[in-house]
């Protein structure tokens, strides 16, 4: 069975740098498991590693789809599996690095087969959320699938719409599909390394990252995307950084408030990431400063 190293953890915890270091040491290539880095033209706000940071290490699943395209966990799994086969075919090691927990779970455990997307229904639900508010959709979900409603926050519009879509198309709650689904055994022998740190330290790292993005031109990048026709209703344009900068551009608040909101919302996102990853008993947790311990663990696993 092929071996796979996974580096997970919250945003700004140092996953990319560690993955690059491990790839350099163990003749590997990096596969991004980041739901925003897949999009083209969105570089600054997604913290894509620059060419210099990649240090000559090949990276995969970065800038592969247009922001107007839908990209799902199922599609990520297919793309990642293909990349892993190609990497292993070259005699290299595959190292997954990212903070999108659903992508990592899809790759290592699989996904349940639910109804295909109905774009007309999704558009109708999105418009309903705009008219009545997200709480109205959440209440509708609570009536047909209280289990999923308890799991999905009212602000998570994407998951709300998917849960209502599944029920509308199948007349069965998405929670039933998830309960029935037995995740397929991982097709690899997998080592999962999680990066974590003191909350104060992590929040400081997040603030520094946001300030760096702003200095690097996040506002100009957002303006270019909007002027190119990527409207604020697109999923990637609702991502961290772009959503808040769009709010400033449209006059909803001052620039300083936009930056404050990015920092706050990123901290909230990091907290949700940790909640997700903490549920995975296979992850072995380290402080990013424990790099030598991590390298020793990976060496023992690969050898």
Give the domain range for residue 73: 3-111+183-302
Same domain, 127 and 254: no
**Residues ≥6 apart with Cβ < 8 Å to 240:** 36, 45, 262, 265, 266, 269
Give residue for tokens 């390394």. 193
CATH number at residue 251: 3.40.50.300
Same domain, 103 and 124: no
Tokens of 273: 């990431």
Same domain, 193 and 95: yes
Mean pLDDT of the chain: 93
- Split into its structural domains, the chain has a count of 2
Same domain, 98 and 133: no
pLDDT in tens, 67-98: 999 899 989 999 999 999 999 999 999 999 99
Same domain, 141 and 193: no
Same domain, 98 and 230: yes
Q: Are 145 and 167 in contact (CB under 8 A)?
A: yes
Same domain, 131 and 171: yes
Same domain, 51 and 163: no
pTM over 0.95: no
pLDDT in tens, 139-154: 999 999 999 899 888 8
- Residue 185 pLDDT exceeds 60: no
Residue 97's DSSP bridge partners are 7, 32
Boundary-marking domain end, from 180, 199, 230: 180
Boundary-marking domain end, from 164, 180, 196: 180
Boundary-marking domain end, from 180, 202, 229: 180
pLDDT in tens, 261-303: 999 999 999 999 999 999 999 999 999 999 999 999 999 999 8
Same domain, 61 and 17: yes
Give the integer Cα–Cα distance in Å for 186 and 179.
Answer: 18
Same domain, 153 and 64: no
């Amino acid at each position: 069975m092929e071996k796979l190293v996974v580096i997970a953890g919250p945003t700004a915890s140092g996953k990319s740098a560690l993955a690059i270091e491990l790839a350099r040491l163990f003749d590997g290539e990096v596969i991004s498991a980041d739901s925003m880095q897949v999009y083209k033209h969105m570089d600054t706000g997604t913290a894509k590693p620059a060419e210099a940071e990649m240090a000559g290490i090949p990276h995969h699943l970065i800038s592969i789809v247009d922001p107007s395209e839908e990209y799902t966990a199922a599609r990520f799994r297919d793309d990642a599996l293909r990349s892993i086969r190609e990497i292993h075919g070259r005699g290299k090691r595959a190292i997954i690095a990212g903070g999108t927990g659903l992508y990592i779970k899809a790759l290592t455990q699989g996904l349940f087969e639910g109804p295909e997307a109905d774009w007309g229904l999704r558009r109708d639900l999105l418009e309903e959320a705009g008219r009545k508010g997200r709480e109205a959709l959440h209440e509708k979900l609570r009536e047909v699938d209280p289990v999923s409603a308890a799991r999905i926050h009212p602000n998570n519009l994407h998951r709300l719409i998917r849960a209502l879509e599944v029920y509308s198309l199948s007349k069965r709650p998405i929670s039933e599909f998830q309960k029935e689904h037995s995740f397929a055994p991982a097709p690899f022998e997998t080592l999962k390394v999680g990066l974590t740190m003191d909350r104060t330290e992590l929040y400081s790292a997040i603030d520094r990252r946001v300030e760096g993005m702003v200095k690097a031109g996040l506002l100009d990048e957002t303006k270019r995307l909007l002027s190119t026709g990527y409207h604020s209703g697109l999923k990637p344009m609702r991502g961290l950084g772009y959503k808040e900068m769009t709010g400033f551009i449209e006059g909803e608040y001052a620039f300083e408030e936009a930056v404050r909101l990015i920092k706050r919302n990123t901290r909230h996102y990091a907290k949700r990431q940790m909640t997700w990853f903490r549920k995975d008993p296979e992850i072995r947790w380290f402080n990013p400063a424990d790099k030598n311990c991590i390298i020793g663990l990976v060496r023992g696993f690969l050898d």
